[in-house]
Structures are given as structure tokens and as C-alpha cells.
Amino acid sequence: MRRILLASAAVAFAGAGSALAGGSASIEINADNPQNCVVVASSATITLGAFDTGVPGTFQYQCNFVGQPTLTFTSANGGVVTAENGGGSATYGIYLNDAAPGGPPSTWLQSNTTPQSYPNITTSTPANTVISPVFQVGLTGALPVAGHYSDTLTIDIVP
């Protein structure tokens, strides 16, 4: 009798355990990665040449999305300036686009009209691809006095 009682208890316990087992859970997993762009390479210095002649520079960027970023150009001085020989300044043109420029620097964005933002000036590209658009600068007028002229051009890039 004792064996039957123990066997019955074991079957009842096993049956109760299987009745408690089972079920499922669904868990939603999310992650976010905001759009961003980074400058991969750029010229450290560009030396301007003759009036209305474009001088090539380097500007490469990469974005983590398919689309076109907005570029903002800002000249620190509104052109190249010198303090020598009584001082002087000259405007220069700025060109950055996927196609070669169709005109001389005097028809490009002018350093004395920055900051200016330009959306969609480069083609839509695959995500995480290094883009190397045509980048040139050039004097739009003669340098007025002898001396060393300089300016800092900042190019900001945002999605």
C-alpha cells in the first residue's frame, strides 16, 4: 500500500509540475542611431593664385544615411586680409559641388557674403560612403597692396 501511495503522489506531483510549465513572452528590442555627417579630409591650406582662377582643394565627407547634407560656409574675415602696407582685403569665390564649376570664381559663392547654408548641393549617396566633391577657391579681385593675406574658411556639415 505504501508503494501505491508513493507512486500516486509522484504521479500527482509530476502532473502538477507539467501544468505549471509553459507560456511565452514577447520582448520588443529597439535601437536608435541619429543621422550624422563627418568631415573625412580637408585641405589645411590653399594658396590662391591669379585673379578669377580656381585653385583646387580637398574636402571629403561621409554621412550615415542615404540623402544629401546641408553645408554652411563661413569666412572669418569676409575675404583674405593683410595688415601690411596699410592693410587690404580681397574677396574670393568658393565652389563645392559634385559637378565641375561652369564659371570663374567671381560667379561662385563669395567670401564676403558668408555665412551661407546650402542644402542638397551634392548628390544623394549611399550611407557610409566617402564623398569627394569638387572643391575650389579663387580670388575674385586683385590683391590691393603687397603683403601676406589670409582668412579662415569654415565648412560645417549637418544632415
Q: What is the pLDDT of residues 98-107, one digit of tens each?
A: 899 989 999 9
- With the C-alpha atoms ordered 112, 108, 43, 74, is the resulting torsion angle positive or negative? positive
The tens digit of pLDDT for each residue in 103-147 reads 999 999 999 999 999 888 887 778 999 999 999 999 999 999 999
Q: Please tell me the total count of domains within the chain.
A: 1
pLDDT category at 16 given cuts 50, 70, 90 is low
Confirm if 154 and 109 have CB atoms less than 8 A apart. no
Q: Is 53 part of a structural domain of the chain?
A: yes
Write out the residue range of the structural domain in which residue 42 sits: 37-158
- SS3 state at 93: strand
Contacts of 117 (CB under 8 A, 6+ apart): 70, 71, 72
15 band by pLDDT with thresholds 50, 70 and 90:
low
Share of the chain above pLDDT 90, in %: 77
Task: Examine residue 147 and state whether it is found in any structural domain, yes or no.
Answer: yes
CATH number of domain containing 137: 2.60.40
pLDDT confidence band for 6 (50 / 70 / 90): very low
